[in-house]
Each structure stands twice: as C-alpha cells, then as structure tokens.
Chains A and B, each alone.
Chain A
Amino acid sequence: MSKIAVIGGGVIGGAPPHELAKLGEEVILFEKNYFGSGSTFRCATGIRAQFTDEANIRLMKYSVERWEKLEEELGFDINFKQTGYLFLATSEEEVEAFKANIRLQNRFGVPTRLIGMDEAREIVPILNTEPFLAGAWNPKDGKANPFKTLFAYLFRAKELGVDAREHTEVIGFEQEGDAITAVRFRSNGKVESVRVDAVLNAANAWAPLINEMAGLSRDIIPITAYKHQLVKTEPLEPGQAEPLVCPPSWNDAYIIQDGEDGGIICGAGIEHKAKGLDDYEPTYDFLRGVLEYAVRIAPPLRYAHVVRQWAGFYAKTPDSNPAIGRLLDNFYIAAGFSGHGFMMAPAVGEAMAGLISKGRSKVPLDWEWYDPYRFERGELRSSAFQIG
C-alpha cells in the first residue's frame, strides 16, 4: 500500500481518491478552499463525446459509459441524464465539416447523426430553426449535477478511508532528487507535513503553482486562466431545451436546461483573461452578449427572467487539451482541462488511479496525445473542440 497525495478538490482531484482507494491505496486529498470551489462548481453541467479528434472521442466514449453507471456505483443521486447535444450548422461548409466529424465519431461507436430542422424542432421546442441548415445530434451526450457528482465521489472515498481535507493549502514539498518524499501543508495557520509515496497535481488553473513547488518551471505546462461566464434563467417547464444546443459559428454560444431546476443555462465564448486566480467577477458585456445569442437560438427566452450570473475558469493549455501523465518519478498531473474536466472526470479519475497504482490502466486514454511534456517539446495537438 502506498500513500498518495492528491492536490485539488475539484472533480479531477475528487474522482481519483475513490478509484485509488478501491485499488487499496491510502489517499490524502488537499483542497485549499472549499471542495469544488475552483472550476467544478462553476461548470455548465454538459457531458459529450462529440469531439473532432480520435483521442478525445475515445476518452469521452468511455467516460460516458462510466457516467451511465456512476449513480449506481456511487450510490448517490447525481442527476445524470442523456438528453443529448445538438450542434447547429449555419453554412454549407459547416454541414460538410459536421459530416466529417460524424463519420469519425461513428467509427469509434459514438452514434451521432445529421438531422434536419424539423427533427431539431421536435427535440428543442423553443428552437429558432430559421438560421440553421442541419444539426449534429448525439442522444447519448448529456448532463449531470456537478455539486452532487463531486460530493458523491468524496462521500464514497471517505467511506473507503480517504482523508479528504478542505481549507488546507499545500505550501511545498520535501524531495530527494526528483522524488517527492513529503507534502507540507497549512491549515488554520498551522503548518504540518505528511510523508508520501506519490503526488497527483489536480489543481487545474492553479496547477502551475504546484509544478513550481516540485522544482519544475511554472510554464512547463502553460495553463492560462480564462474567465468563462454563465447566465441562468428562472426555472422553465422541463423539455424546452433539454439538450445542449450550440451553433459553433456563433462564438460557441449555447443553451442547456438545468436537469434539476429547469433554469436555462446560457454560455458563449466571450472570454476574458483573468486578472488573477481570484478574479471571478462577472461582467456586463458578457451578460448582454450571451443573451443576444440565446434569444437568437431560442426566441421565447426573451420573456424569461435572468436570476443569476457567475464566472469560473477555463484553465486553458495552448491546444485546449489537458496535460495528463507523469512529470517526475512519483509526481503526476491531470490539469489544464480547458473546460472539459467535469465530463472527463470518471474516465480520467480511473486512468490516473491505474497509472499511479499499477503503472497502467485499461481506460482508452491516449497518453501520448495528452503527454504533459508536449509543450516543452514545442508540439501541439489539434485544438480540442471547445464548447460545453
């Protein structure tokens, strides 16, 4: 049995402790604020396998299969629903691109298909079909409750003996050569340290600070925090816009109906580089901009009330693909999810647990594709399809 420290109490740090504990490992999880306080509790809830490259499609195909069983496995209502993702094309060129993506997704068993606007209207009754030529529709994509999902993982992990600590900040490591031998942390003003056999950096936007503590360059994985905001309406009757609906050419604008309270969550690629890692202030230009897109997608939204607006981070790498793998002998990373961490968490949590505990995993995760050292070598992957 090894002792493994996981740094970061969002869903990417929350899933591996449960998986590691199942493999018999001893785990201590550190979160410097409250659990989920970084990106997880600010996410738009969407889960999709509709990507445009093999690595992300295969990883998410597997992740969706895990999501399908997660509620039963964790014994907790996480509100997972396969209500689909509907991407909408506004030009003939885009229809052709959709067809190519659909062929690729179908090749790996993702059942996306091209649909006409009559069918789209049946799926989304409030949709304005007029500007769109066709849709890419995968009914197996979906959504879940990020708050409940993270806590489902944490509750189960604690039952399996995981020591999950919040309001506990990691402040440094003790090392022998490249190997990390202990983690120093501060809680209630008191500094302590714990001996460890391995460390997983799952701090997403904050991950470069942790890399630096391990003696690496802060830019070895260049992660930039972009403010990604969301706006939510009052609850509407369920069924109005259940899938995530997105015309990518409209600045990646999207709407998705919250699976629990029925409010419409509205997002768009109107992003601001954060002034710092505590810059969560929502902006008026986003509120106005995102709602202009939302009423073009679904005109009846004009008559709904906005009840809240909030911001989180897209912790973006230069190619919008995460860095997943081993950085030093016993120092691992899963960070820079660029807005896709929540949907990937069941697969990545299992893959990281396997890698750390056994050096391998049956999860179809392309380690070469997500190699954390690719940026240092000047390699970039094709940019991961961004939205949702």
Chain B
Amino acid sequence: MGGKKIVCRCNDVTVEEVEALIDSGVTDIEELKRLLRIGMGPCQGRTCVPIVLGILARKTGRSQEEIPLPKARVPIRPVRVEVIVGGADE
C-alpha cells in the first residue's frame, strides 16, 4: 500500500497534506496545527511537530530555530477524568 507518509499518528496526517497546505499559503505553525490537527492528539505533538517544523523550514527557507513551537497544552500526558474529580461521589 505504497507511499503514504504519516507525520501525525494521532490524527493520520500525511506529508502530502502538510506540503499542500503550506503551498496554499498557510505558513504559520499555529494555523497548520489547527487545520491539520497536528499536535492536538493524545501525544501532544511529540512525533509530528518536529517533522512539520522541518518541512516548514525547508519549504519557506527559514531555519527551524526561527519558527516558534506551537503552544503545548496541559495535561502533558492524558489523565483519566476520575483521577482529577476524585472517587465516586454519586
């Protein structure tokens, strides 16, 4: 089933989708994040964000250091709701 290169394993985003969006003029990492849902899954971008930064740097001729990382959200790892609300209270 050749050729499909996944950059985001939480939301199944491919290299081609990232490149197509950048080609359409969307070059802000925060916008790429939201339109593609990279970094918005349970892994919080551990896999996809560095890869997308690399693609973005290459296609826009910027260095990776110039591109700010998208905001990381709490919790850093998924937390079960009952851990936060405490034991059964009904």
Contacts and interface: CB of A to CB of B under 8 A. Distances in A.
Contacts of B24: 155
B54 interface: no
A307 B82 contact: no
B20 interface: no
B78 to A, nearest CB: 4
Contacts of A306: 75, 78-81, 84
A264 to B, nearest CB: 10
B85 interface: yes
A296 B75 CA distance: 22
Contact of B31 (A36, A292, A303): A36
Given A166-B28, A303-B82, A309-B73, 14 more contacts: A35-B28, A36-B31, A36-B34, A41-B30, A261-B11, A292-B85, A296-B90, A303-B81, A304-B81, A305-B79, A305-B80, A306-B75, A307-B75, A309-B75
B37 A303 contact: no
B78 A234 contact: yes
Contact of A34 (B30, B41, B73): B30
B90 to A, nearest CB: 7
A279 to B, nearest CB: 14
B30 A294 contact: no
Interface residues of A, number: 35
Contacts of A36: 31, 34
Interface string A295-313: 1100101111111111000
A37 interface: yes
Interface of B: 11, 24-26, 28, 30-31, 34-35, 37, 40-42, 44, 73-75, 78-82, 84-85, 88, 90
B21 to A, nearest CB: 9
8 contacts: A34-B28, A155-B24, A282-B73, A288-B85, A295-B82, A303-B81, A306-B80, A307-B75
B30 A37 contact: yes
A226 interface: no
A294 B81 contact: yes
Contacts of B84: 287-288, 291, 306
A147 interface: yes
Top 7 A-B pairs, shortest CB-CB distance: A305-B78, A147-B34, A308-B73, A34-B28, A302-B82, A34-B30, A291-B85
